[in-house]
Structure 1
Amino acid sequence: MKKIIFITLFTFIAVSLSAQKEVRKAIRTGNSAYNEQRYGAAEAEYNKALDGNAGSKEASFNLANTYYRQQKWDDAIKEYQHYLTLENENPDKMSAAWSNMGNTFLKKKANEKGQAQQAPLQPGQQPEQPKQQEDNLKLSMEAYKNALRLNPKDDETRYNLAVVQKMIQDRQNEDGGGGQDKNQDQDKDQKQDQKDQQNQNNDQKKDQKDQQNQQNQNQMSQENMQQMLQAIEQDEKNTQQRVNQAKAQERKQKNENNRKQNKDW
């Protein structure tokens, strides 16, 4: 009986070690594909690793980054959230996940705005309201705040937070002032229609000027967002370069160690 128990235990340990080995292999293969910008292949490998070990922090975080690279914003946000249920010990890694989630919400907001501008309105269709886009800005802001609570020294996230807060404030000022101006213009138009057609023409010119000023404000907010997105993309490129340099240095060090060992032998 003891022999049977021993064999069963040994078999269980062997299977467990084999499964862990397969998970590590999938993660390494996924990392190689990711570094080569083959994000579809990387996604498949990270999912394979998570199938073998749903609690793998590395596979979850890297899968979220892979979704982000493929512009699968909702999938990326969901996976960052999953990662944060796994990682509760390392504040720096948790902060990085929150910061990346803030970037994802911002990218999602920019993408939604671009789609709204490109899609023509159908007969009877109402223009898209800014509430959902503003919600994405607010979600981005909260994610950046969570990141800074965990890592107050992250200056890049602090800058991103400041820009998003400014964009939210600009939109609130725009919405608050725009409604009052519109009501005032309508009242003026009704009175001037009764009094003088010439004054109505003057009001129309004034409305055009106000509309142009509002468009200029929107353009400024859009430029701020584009500058911020460009800064995020540049930071991602710099990070990738640092990773490649570190790997090259590691390979060089390994080659030197091998030469020394061969020489000693």
Structure 2
Amino acid sequence: MWYRICFLFLIWLVTCAPAQSQSSHRALREGDRAYREGNFEEAQRAYGDAIREENSAQGNYNLGNSLYERGEYEEAAKRYEEAAGLSADPDIQSRAYRNLGDSYYRQENYQQAVEAYKQSLRLDPEDAETKYNLTKAIRQVQQQQQQQQQDENQDQDGEDQQQDQQQQEGQGGENGDQQQQQDGKQSEDGDEAQDQEQQAGGTPGQPQADPNQPQMSREEAERQLGIAAEEEKRTLSRLRQANREGCTGTKDW
């Protein structure tokens, strides 16, 4: 019984494989017709059906071409990689890697494009088109590196300028603090001088008493004032007495 089941399974595989191959082949032919007519959307659908029936190098390569024509470069690159891995034919592999390089170039992944073109030339060193494409990709890589270096230099210059500006602002703040401290000190000195003048009984701009001159006490000043008052009284008394007596003397001319 077991052997009968295994035998029937093998028969099913043998009968189904040609059917799947025929279905895949028909889909490939439909895709080729649509591709020649420029109907890349229909070609993409047909090639997709073909590789679902049989994942072949031809189906993936042609599907990659349809995707490339529609501008779907990222998906096209995946199909070319698959085709190169499935095929044992160096010519197909070389063309798959060349188209892979074109897909990377369209995405501006120039370094990856360079590697794909190199891989293609290892398989077909005489391919003039791949050599030309490799030269273009290398030139783009060099330009990217130069632009990156310029951007890094500009970023560094910007950082240096920012640091210089911060240092200048810091120095300006320190100078301002020092000036404020000096102004404050001058103000304090001026206040102290004014306080000293007020304590001495003077005002700014007026002559001050000589501190070395001996000062008169309050008692001495009152005594001197009293003496002056008595002297003034005696003087007035003599003047009144003279007015009452009149002039008694003679004078020779």
TM-score scaled by length of structure 2: 0.56
Matched with 1:147 is: 120
Q: Could you tell me which amino acid in structure 2 is paired with residue 146 of structure 1? A: Q
Matched with 2:139 is: 166
2:156, 2:13 → 1: CA distance?
75
CA deviation map 1:101-160 (0-9, x unaligned) = 111111122xxxxxxxxxxxxxxxxxxxxxxxxxx1111111111111111101111111
Matched with 1:30 is: 31
Matched with 1:51 is: 52
Kindly indicate whether residue 73 of structure 2 is the aligned counterpart of residue 73 of structure 1: yes
Question: Residues 67-146 of structure 1 correspond to what in structure 2 (within 5 A)?
Answer: 67-87=67-87, 89-109=88-108, 136-146=109-119
1:184, 1:98 → 2: CA distance?
42
The Cα of 1:20 is off from its aligned counterpart by: 1.5
The Cα of 1:96 is off from its aligned counterpart by: 0.6
Kindly indicate whether residue 64 of structure 2 is the aligned counterpart of residue 64 of structure 1: yes
Q: CA RMSD in A?
A: 3.2
1:49 to 1:172, Cα distance in 2 relative to 1, 3 A = same
1:4 to 1:94, Cα distance in 2 relative to 1, 3 A = closer
Relative contact order, CA 8 A, sep 6+: which one is greater? 1
Matched with 1:235 is: none
SS in 1 for 2:48: helix
* Matched pairs, number: 164
SS in 2 for 1:71: coil
1:178, 1:52 → 2: CA distance?
50
1:85, 1:161 → 2: CA distance?
21
Q: Hey, which of these two has a bigger chunk of helix by percent?
A: 1
Flag structure 1 segments of 5+ consecutive residues without an equivalent: 110-135, 195-265
CA deviation map 1:152-200 (0-9, x unaligned) = 101111111111111211222233245436655875xx79xx9xxxxxx
Displacement over 4 Å in runs of 4+: 1-12, 181-187
Greater Cα offset, 141-150 or 162-171: 162-171
1:160 to 1:12, Cα distance in 2 relative to 1, 3 A = closer
1:4 to 1:92, Cα distance in 2 relative to 1, 3 A = closer
TM-score scaled by length of structure 1: 0.54
Q: Could you tell me which amino acid in structure 1 is paired with residue 129 of structure 2? A: E
1:8, 1:177 → 2: CA distance?
67
2:99, 2:32 → 1: CA distance?
18
1:173, 1:79 → 2: CA distance?
32
Matched with 2:234 is: none
SS in 1 for 2:71: coil
Flag structure 2 segments of 5+ consecutive residues without an equivalent: 169-253
